[in-house]
């Protein structure tokens, strides 16, 4: 036990009323007992072992292209923190022989030690920015190179980190490498203490994690969902993905009553609130089918990608109030006409590139209904926006290959 452990204990007690509100599974795994999650012990493998840690669903999805590349040269362990992230990792990678999926431990030193002794990685890549002091210290102590991949540090997060730089700075300085998405993120990571010669601009792997090929028809999963819910594929369809508080009611009122609207809340715990905000909506989770309905709620996990294929227009949620936006890359890759609100600061890089390509429309909540109506009336404009969006995605791809090369080089030069 160290001084940081002693700090975590009272903080955990104080925060208990908050984290106990959510139903969390795998507590034995959260304290580092992940050996039962491994199909074979680490000692049985002679290959390089690469640990890729992704907090939740979004970060796991960013690994779609990287993991298949890595398994050609190494065994891969994908860890996740949240239950939904773990489920998504198992769905994407669980059937690949050279991949193990485990739960990431809490940051107490003895839990980290137990986890690392079971997993035994040669190199660790932390997706986006997941720098826990005891974990990174534990890796360094064992000679395991650890760094950030697909790194991003928003202006908002940077202000918080910088305020506590005296305490968190040593953790950043221990990183062996930081692969970041653009120059702004590189500058902020450098301020936090990562040596400039350890920072490289590799782009975002999220551009690689989506399929930008042209499909003549929606996939079988999309068709099944449409039939199960009573969605009429011959009539206009608007998909609002990753919505946040207030947006369900806003979009229900803003989108014309005769237009089909599917709303997919970002967080599981908000499904019931979203249903209350859209009275009479058809809920996917109930299994009900209601032909002729115009309002639908996708209150499931892992189906939004398929439903996007049904869209004439996609609205990217968490962007009309103060929630900092959601990721527009997936619907853009599908060639959809994408609309997003002005509060997208957490995804400013992606939105900026799409704006430069004239492939996305940014509107405030007073204008969203009018914008969507205009796009639904103009097939040519939707098609042009979609072509530009897909072209923008294709132009940005290649980051996963660059991350692959960095990780492999550090694995081969383990300290």
Q: Does domain 22-208+398-412 have CATH number 3.30.380.10?
A: no
**What burial class does residue 142 get, using C-beta atoms within 10 Å of its C-beta: 0-12 exposed, 13-18 middle, 19+ buried?**
middle
pLDDT of residue 69 exceeding 60, the answer is: yes
The average pLDDT across 213-224 equals 92
Task: Note the pLDDT tens digit of each residue in 367-380.
Answer: 999 999 999 999 99
* CATH 3.40.50.2000, applies to 220-396: yes
HSE toward the beta carbon, residue 157, CA cutoff 13 A: 18
> Measuring CA to CA, which residue among 139, 153, 121, 143 is closest to residue 52?
121
- Helices 379-396 and 348-356: crossing angle, nearest 10°? 120
Check residue 179 and give its pLDDT: 98
Is the model's pLDDT at 202 over the cut of 60? Answer: yes
pLDDT at 405 over 90: yes
Question: Does residue 20 surpass a pLDDT of 60?
Answer: no
CA distance 81 to 105: 8
Q: b or e along 215-251 (b: 16 or more beta carbons within 10 Å of the residue's beta carbon)?
A: eeebeeebbebbeebebeeeebbbbbbbbbbebbbbb
Residue 13 has pLDDT above 90, yes or no: no
302 versus 205: the higher-pLDDT residue is: 205
Radius of gyration of the chain (CA): 22
- What is the model's pLDDT at position 40? 81
Distance CA 406, CA 347 (A): 24
pLDDT band at 12, cuts 50/70/90? low
Residues 27-41: tens digit of each pLDDT: 889 889 999 899 888
- Fold agreement between 22-208+398-412 and 220-396: yes
Confirm if 147 and 179 have CB atoms less than 8 A apart: yes
- Reply yes or no on whether the pLDDT at 43 is more than 80: no
Residue 18 — very low, low, confident or very high, per pLDDT cuts 50/70/90?
Answer: low
Q: Looking at residue 22, what is its pLDDT?
A: 60
Burial of 368-391, coded b for 16+ CB within 10 Å and e otherwise, reads bbebbbebbeeeeebeebbebbbe
pTM comes to 0.86
pLDDT of residue 262: 98
Q: For residue 260, is pLDDT > 90?
A: yes
Beta bridge partners of 199: 178
Kindly list the distances between the CA atom of residue 21 and the CA atoms of 17, 24, 27, 92, 108, in Å, as whole numbers in the listed order: 7, 9, 15, 28, 22
Q: For 349-371, what is the mean pLDDT? A: 97
245 confidence band (pLDDT: 50, 70, 90) = very high
Return the pLDDT at 163: 92
| pLDDT (tens digit per residue) in 89-134 | 999 999 999 999 999 999 999 999 999 999 999 999 999 998 999 9
Task: Please give the Cα distance from 90 to 5 (Å, whole number).
Answer: 30
Name the pLDDT band for 255 (thresholds 50, 70, 90).
Answer: very high
Residue 400 phi, psi dihedral angles, 5° rounding: -60, -40
Helix, strand or coil for residue 87?
A: helix
**Cβ atoms within 10 Å of 109's Cβ, excluding its own:** 18
**116 HSE (CA, 13 A, CB side):** 24
Contact predicate 107/135, CB 8 Å: yes
Q: Map out the domains of the chain as residue ranges.
A: 22-208+398-412, 220-396
376-392: average pLDDT = 97
DSSP, residue by residue, 217-264: S--HHHHHHHHHHT--TTS-EEEEEEE-TTHHHHHHHHS-TTSEEEEE
Mean pLDDT of the chain: 93
pLDDT band, very low/low/confident/very high, at 10 (cuts 50, 70, 90): low
| For helices 133-141 and 109-119, angle between their N-to-C axes, nearest 10 degrees | 50
């Amino acid at each position: 036990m160290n001084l940081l452990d002693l700090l975590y204990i009272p903080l955990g007690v104080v925060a208990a009323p908050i984290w106990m509100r959510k139903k969390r599974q795998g507590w034995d795994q959260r304290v580092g007992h992940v050996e039962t999650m491994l199909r074979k012990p680490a000692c049985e493998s002679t290959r390089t072992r690469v640990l890729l840690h992704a907090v939740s669903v979004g970060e796991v999805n960013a690994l779609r292209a990287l993991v298949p590349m890595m398994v050609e040269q190494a065994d891969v362990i994908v860890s996740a923190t949240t239950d939904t992230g773990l489920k998504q990792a198992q769905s994407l990678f669980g059937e690949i022989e050279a991949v193990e999926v485990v739960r990431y431990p809490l940051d107490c030193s003895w839990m980290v030690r137990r986890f690392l002794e079971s997993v035994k990685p040669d190199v660790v890549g932390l997706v986006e920015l997941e720098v826990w002091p005891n974990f990174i210290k534990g890796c360094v102590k064992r000679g395991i190179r650890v760094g950030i991949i697909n790194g991003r540090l928003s202006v908002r997060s940077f202000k918080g980190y910088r305020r506590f730089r005296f305490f968190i700075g040593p953790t950043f300085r221990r990183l062996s490498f930081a692969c970041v998405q653009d120059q702004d993120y590189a500058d902020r990571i450098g301020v936090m203490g990562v040596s400039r010669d350890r920072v490289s601009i590799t782009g975002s792997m999220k551009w690689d994690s989506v399929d930008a090929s042209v499909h003549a028809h929606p996939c079988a999963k999309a068709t099944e969902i449409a039939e199960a819910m009573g969605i009429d594929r011959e009539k206009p369809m608007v998909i609002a993905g990753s919505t946040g508080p207030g947006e369900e009611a806003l979009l229900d009122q803003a989108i014309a009553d005769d237009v089909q609207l599917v709303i997919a809340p970002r967080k599981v715990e908000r499904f019931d609130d979203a249903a209350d905000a859209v009275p009479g909506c058809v809920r996917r989770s109930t299994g009900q089918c209601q032909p002729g309905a115009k309002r639908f709620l996708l209150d499931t996990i892992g189906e939004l990608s398929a439903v996007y294929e049904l869209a004439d227009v996609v609205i990217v949620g968490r962007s009309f109030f103060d929630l900092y936006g959601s990721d527009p890359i997936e619907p853009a890759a599908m060639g959809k006409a994408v609309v997003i609100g002005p509060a997208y600061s957490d995804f400013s890089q992606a939105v900026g590139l799409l704006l430069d390509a004239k492939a996305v429309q940014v509107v405030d909540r007073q204008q969203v209904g009018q914008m969507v109506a205009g796009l639904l009336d103009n097939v040519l404009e939707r098609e042009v926006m979609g072509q530009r969006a897909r072209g923008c995605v294709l132009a940005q791809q290649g980051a996963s290959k660059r991350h692959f090369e960095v990780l492999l080089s550090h694995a081969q030069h383990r300290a």
